[in-house]
Structure 1
Amino acid sequence: MPIYAYQCARCGHAQDMLQKMSDPPLKTCPACGAEAFAKQLTAAGFQLKGTGWYATDFSGKKSPAAASDAPKTEAASPSPAPAAASSGT
């Protein structure tokens, strides 16, 4: 369940609330009782734990195995076609 930040427009009371996404937004301030309690726009705060693609692929560090698996930069380009001989005389 996500945690939503709320703040009262009347008294300024701020509180984080654990709610289901399907729950309606709260409107009544628990501090003053006014119908001025509103959700705040905040940055998502979470941390991925464990060993998954996010830890290995996007960590910014290259492992020795990943460096050896890197594609070679030698490009196998086709040899140029022989130019048609033209007689200039």
Structure 2
Amino acid sequence: MPIYEYQCNACGHEMEALQRMSDNPLKDCPACDKAELHKKISAAGFRLKGGGWYETDFKTGSKKNLAGDAANGSKAKSGQPAKTAKTA
């Protein structure tokens, strides 16, 4: 269940609430008892980014970095020399 942030328009009280996505938003402020509570828009507490983050979870032994090994292995097996900067 996600955690939602709320702020009261009347008194400025801020709070968090653990709710189902299907639950109706809270309306009554617990600090001033007015129906001025509104849901704030906030960023997630974590971010899943990068290639292959799911492949490395729960892997053991030599299978830890499948995404990185595939990228490095394809360059090494292609038979083409690595590109280098030309000097004048």
- Which category of TM-score, normalised to the shorter sequence, fits these structures? 0.5 to 0.7
* CA displacement 1:52-80 (0-9 Å, x = unmatched): x51639xxxxx5x81796213436xxxxx
Structure-2-length-normalised TM-score: 0.60
Percent identical: 49
SS at match of 2:53: helix
The runs of at least 4 aligned residues of structure 1 exceeding 4 Å deviation read: none
Structure 1 residue 46, shift from structure 2 partner: 3.5
C-alpha separation in 2, matches of 1:29 and 1:68:
53
Distance verdict in 2 for CA 1:36–1:47, change over 3 Å: same
1:74 lines up with 2:79 in the alignment: yes
Q: Which stretches in structure 1 are left out of the alignment for 5+ residues?
A: 58-62, 76-89
Give the letter for the 2:44 counterpart: A
Residue in structure 2 matched with residue 34 of structure 1 by the alignment: 34
SS at match of 1:70: helix
Larger radius of gyration: 1
Structure-1-length-normalised TM-score: 0.59
* Equivalent residue pairs, number: 66
C-alpha separation in 1, matches of 2:71 and 2:20:
46
1:45 lines up with 2:50 in the alignment: no
SS at match of 2:73: coil
Residue in structure 1 matched with residue 17 of structure 2 by the alignment: 17
Distance verdict in 2 for CA 1:69–1:11, change over 3 Å: same
Give the letter for the 2:8 counterpart: C
Structure 1 residue 47, shift from structure 2 partner: 7.0
